[in-house]
Every structure is written in C-alpha cells, then in structure tokens.
C-alpha cells in the first residue's frame, strides 16, 4: 500500500501567499513535514488529527540530518498516507529538494512538486521593486551564501556575481556577507552598489533596510545576527519605497 508525497512550496511565510493547490494538498494531508519558515498559520489549513512534524534546519543550529528527513518521508508514505512535504519559498531553490526526490524514487513512492512563491520575489514585492529592468537589469541571479560547512562556498562564480548590471539575491548569506562583499569588490563590484537587507519577509516583523554593499558588509560584520534574511544588490535595490 503506497502513499503519495506532495512537495509543496509554502511561499515566504504569509499564509495568504499559499497557492490554491497548496491549500488543497494541506487539507487532504494525513501528515505534514514542515520547515521552520513554513509553520505557524500555514499549518492551520490541515485537518484535525493530521501529524504535523517539524524538520526545520535553522541557520546556526545543528541540522537534523537530511537523510533522516528523507527516511521520515519514506516511512510516512509507506503506511499509505498522503504526505505533504512543506518547504519554505519555492522548494526547488536552495531547498535540498533533490535529495528527498531521490529517496522517494528509490523507494518507488509517487510524488508531485508544487511550486511556491520564492522569498526573493516576495522581498522585492514588499520593497516595491521589480527584479528586472529593461535595458539595465536583464539578468537576475539567486545564490546561496551558505555552503555545506556553513561558510561562504569557496567556488562561487565571483565575476558573474560582481556584475552591477544584474540583480543578485543572496539566500542564507547574512553571516557570510562581509566575506562575500570583500570578494565581490575585489572582482570589480563598486562598494556603492545599492543593497537591500530583507528580514522576516511577508511576516508582521518584516524589516527592509536599504544600504550599499560596502555599508551592509560593515554593519553585518559589527552586529551579526541569525534571523532569516535575504540580501539583494544591484541598481534596483535603491528604488521603491518599501511602503507600497
């Protein structure tokens, strides 16, 4: 008796940014395995008696082993349950989706993938800016600032990331941004490039701080903190009002 797993992107946290399909799957689920950022009111869509299992990996805390999450997924589905694996943002970006897909494939368990609102799109919307602009920002790129060991990955494509003509969003990179900023500036990105620090996106505590690459690196070096955040840099980071 085989169950079914729906990988569901929960969006950035605001329950109103769930898709209709996500709500449908949550309502039908016998079990929900969720990340830290996809909890709270989002789980209010589940039915009474559903198993709600937190498997979050907060930055700075020891992570539950990924293999343990994959094993839990397989175990729940093997009982015939309808399982939702809720991942914050869009599960396909920096969500370690592939490792869980492979475990299900190996176990012969059917699944589907439902995309979610990427936190980068929600951050830009909250700041009142687009991620692209005709003629001057034709490329947008997303990168992780958090390697397997928690440090800045050593093999980033720095010339690509140091392009002031692109909009760049750094995921999970607040702690390592001072080092990244040094490397970007060494590769030609002006320190005066506008930067936006977006914290607790789409939540009541949301905070948007406009700065520059050099200034933001300085302030994060002086006052490191562990809250979830995105850093966006490029010309568009200076625009918008944040009050839109």
Among 157, 192, 225, 227, binds its own copies (CB under 8 A): 157
Identified catalytic residue from 14, 30, 35, 163: 35
Among 57, 59, 82, 153, binds its own copies (CB under 8 A): 153
Q: Which is nearer to its own copies, 41 or 225 (CB)?
A: 41
Among 26, 32, 84, 116, binds its own copies (CB under 8 A): 116
Rounded distance between C-alpha atoms, residue 200 and residue 88, angstroms: 12
Q: Please report whether residue 19 would count as binding its own copies according to CB under 8 A.
A: yes
Stretch that binds its own copies, among 46-54, 73-81, 152-160, 220-228 (CB under 8 A): 152-160
Stretch that binds its own copies, among 31-39, 48-56, 113-121, 182-190 (CB under 8 A): 113-121
Of 153, 195, 151, nearest in space to 175 by CA = 151
Of 6, 36, 32, nearest in space to 21 by CA = 6
CB of 207 to its own copies, least distance (A): 17
Rounded distance between C-alpha atoms, residue 96 and residue 152, angstroms: 17
Q: Please report whether residue 16 would count as binding its own copies according to CB under 8 A.
A: yes
Q: Which is nearer to its own copies, 132 or 209 (CB)?
A: 132
Q: Please report whether residue 149 would count as binding its own copies according to CB under 8 A.
A: no
Rounded distance between C-alpha atoms, residue 88 and residue 108, angstroms: 25
Specify the length of the chain in residues: 244
Q: Is 57 assigned a catalytic role?
A: yes
Among 90, 184, 197, 232, binds its own copies (CB under 8 A): 90
Whether residue 141 contacts residue 230, with contact meaning beta carbons closer than 8 Å, is answered with no
**SS3 (DSSP) at 70:** helix
- How many CB atoms lie under 10 A from the CB of residue 224? 13
Rounded distance between C-alpha atoms, residue 86 and residue 15, angstroms: 13
Q: Please report whether residue 151 would count as binding its own copies according to CB under 8 A.
A: no
Catalytic residue positions? Answer: 35, 57
């Amino acid at each position: 008796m085989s169950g079914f797993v729906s990988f569901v992107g929960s969006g950035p946290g605001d329950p109103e940014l769930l898709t209709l399909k996500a709500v449908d799957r949550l309502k039908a689920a016998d079990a929900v395995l969720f990340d830290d950022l996809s909890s709270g009111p989002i789980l209010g869509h589940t039915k009474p008696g559903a198993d709600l299992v937190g498997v979050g990996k907060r930055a700075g805390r020891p992570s539950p082993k990924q293999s343990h999450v994959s094993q839990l997924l397989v175990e729940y589905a093997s009982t015939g349950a309808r399982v939702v694996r809720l991942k914050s943002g869009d599960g396909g970006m920096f969500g370690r989706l592939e490792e869980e897909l492979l475990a299900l494939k190996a176990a012969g368990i059917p699944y589907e993938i439902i995309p979610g609102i990427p936190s980068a799109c929600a951050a830009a919307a909250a700041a009142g800016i687009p991620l692209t602009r005709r003629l001057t920002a034709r490329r947008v790129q997303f990168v992780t600032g958090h390697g397997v060991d928690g440090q800045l990955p050593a093999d980033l494509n720095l010339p690509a990331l140091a392009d002031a003509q692109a909009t760049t969003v750094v995921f999970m990179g607040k702690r390592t941004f001072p080092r990244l900023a040094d490397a970007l500036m060494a590769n030609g990105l002006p320190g005066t490039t506008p930067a936006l620090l977006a914290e607790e996106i789409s939540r009541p505590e949301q905070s948007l701080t406009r700065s520059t690459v050099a200034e933001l690196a300085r302030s994060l070096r002086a006052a490191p903190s562990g809250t979830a955040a995105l850093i966006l840099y490029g010309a568009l980071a200076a625009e918008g009002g944040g009050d839109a």
